[in-house]
Amino acid sequence: MEAKIVIDDWMTNPDIRAVIDAIEGGGAAIRFVGGCVRDALLQNKIKDVDLATTERPERIIKLLENAGLEAIPTGIEHGTVTAISGTRTYEITTLRRDVKPDGRHSEVDFTDDWEEDAGRRDFTFNTMSVSPDGTIYDYFNGLQDLTKRRIQFVGDAEKRVQEDHLRILRYFRFIAVLGMRIDDQYSYQKCIQHAPLLAELSGERVRDELFKMLLSENKCDAIGVMISSGVANHFLPEATSTNRLNRLMWLETSAIKAGSVSIDPVRRLASIVETDATGARKIAERLRMSNAQRDHLITLVDPPWQATREILDDDLRTLLYRMEPARVIDLCLLEWASALTKMPRLPREHSRAWLRIIDTADTWVAVDFPLSGRDARDLGLAEGPQIAEVLKHVENWWTSGGCRADRDACLRRLQKVAEAPQ
């Protein structure tokens, strides 16, 4: 019996219909492919909607523009055009076959054969395509594998990872994200055997896959498997264990209700590595992380504050004045997770103490030091180092009291310091 997918808004909204009508109006076939098909079958939230067509990219652009849609030749040499329809973007790729794969990239030839195009994909559950009327085309039993949460390469695993080394990371990523089982020991062993090839990949591609794994809400410990099998050693040798990550994930998703405790890949990365500031810089460079991500990681592995649940209220207010509240929360979560690795059932008062800090940081309203250089000049102090020194003295006094003193109190303190014998 012909399998059908449940028709939903992502397949029928006016924006996608305009794209489909433009391509089909030119006489070409078009189908949904990739993650949107997989996620729809799993009843997960649809993120990006990708399409494939028998039409050639230059013709796709013409058909879209004739329909009044904007077309961007995103990767036209590989057959990909981005269509902008309403408020949405859609990637449309011409059916293709790989020619001369070198492990990182591949030249392609275009084809009209849907099964041939499906056969070049990595895993069986990624080979399925769906026509606009909901018909599922499944050439490699992907639906059965998806239903059984079984990860299976299309064809021979060794050949597939040699064609594109990133498939090794994608193998573990789908295990993590979809909660797949490792039933096929041959494929698993081939991923381990060829893991040294990961060193040939660009840092950006490795980072993207790693961060997707770290953002996974699934409890499957694919990263732990990569560490124990030695795979991680070829792209993240600093990773030593996922014990702290597992506790951190529990804190983020189950134990804490604070609004600012979101899932963060850099925080989760910090939880699995053992390194210092220099090592964090090397990780950031290797993975081509942004400057902000690099600085974030450095703060977490070499913190300016050693997180402690026993911090006093005034000291906490001073800390939040000097440090971004989100970083204070990060450091508390990591230290709390570390404590849970040593004592899975912490005393209730310990958890309450950590929650007190996190709640305070979550609701913290930034405060500004009430004084400026003008206040010092009004007292007759000369421009230069003296003003900076006096203001710093008053600011330290203000922060030592939890940043509570108002402007009048700070002015009185300023006058007292200014009048003191030098």
Amino acid at 18: A
34 contact partners, CB below 8 Å, separation of at least 6:
48, 50, 126
**Same structural domain, 223 and 266:** no
Domain total in the chain: 4
Distance of CA 143 to the CA centre of its chain: 27
d(CA 12, CA 32): 12
pLDDT at residue number 258: 61
**pTM of structure:** 0.88
CATH number at residue 160: 1.10.110.30
The candidate with the shortest Cα–Cα distance to 70, out of 88, 54, 53, is 88
**Same structural domain, 338 and 389:** no
User: Long-range CB contacts (< 8 A, 24+ apart) of 75-78?
Assistant: 78/108
**Same structural domain, 22 and 82:** yes
**Same structural domain, 189 and 125:** no
**Same structural domain, 34 and 130:** yes
pLDDT tens for the chain, 422 residues: list them: 468 998 999 999 999 999 999 999 999 999 999 999 999 999 999 989 999 999 999 999 999 999 999 999 988 888 999 999 999 999 999 999 877 665 556 577 899 999 999 999 999 999 999 999 999 999 999 999 999 999 999 999 999 999 999 999 999 999 998 888 888 899 999 999 999 999 999 999 999 999 999 998 776 689 999 999 999 999 999 999 999 999 999 999 888 876 668 899 999 999 999 999 999 999 999 999 999 999 999 999 999 999 999 999 999 999 999 999 999 999 999 999 999 999 989 999 999 999 999 999 999 999 999 999 999 999 888 788 889 999 999 999 999 999 999 999 999 999 999 887 65
pLDDT at residue number 275: 97
**Same structural domain, 48 and 117:** yes
d(CA 133, CA 138): 15
**Same structural domain, 306 and 406:** no
Beta partners for residue 130, in sequence order = 32, 136
The candidate with the shortest Cα–Cα distance to 93, out of 32, 172, 170, is 32
Residue 139, domain extent: 1-145
d(CA 288, CA 205): 9
- Alpha-helical runs (H) found in 135-202: 142-147, 157-163, 166-178, 185-193
At 257, list the tokens.
């209700």
Domain boundary among 122, 145, 168: 145
308 contact partners, CB below 8 Å, separation of at least 6:
335
The candidate with the shortest Cα–Cα distance to 85, out of 170, 139, 18, is 18
Domain boundary among 102, 126, 145: 145
**Same structural domain, 411 and 391:** yes
**Same structural domain, 279 and 336:** yes
**Same structural domain, 138 and 269:** no
**Same structural domain, 362 and 395:** no
**Same structural domain, 153 and 138:** no
Domain boundary among 100, 116, 145: 145
At 233, list the tokens.
């050693």
d(CA 222, CA 228): 10
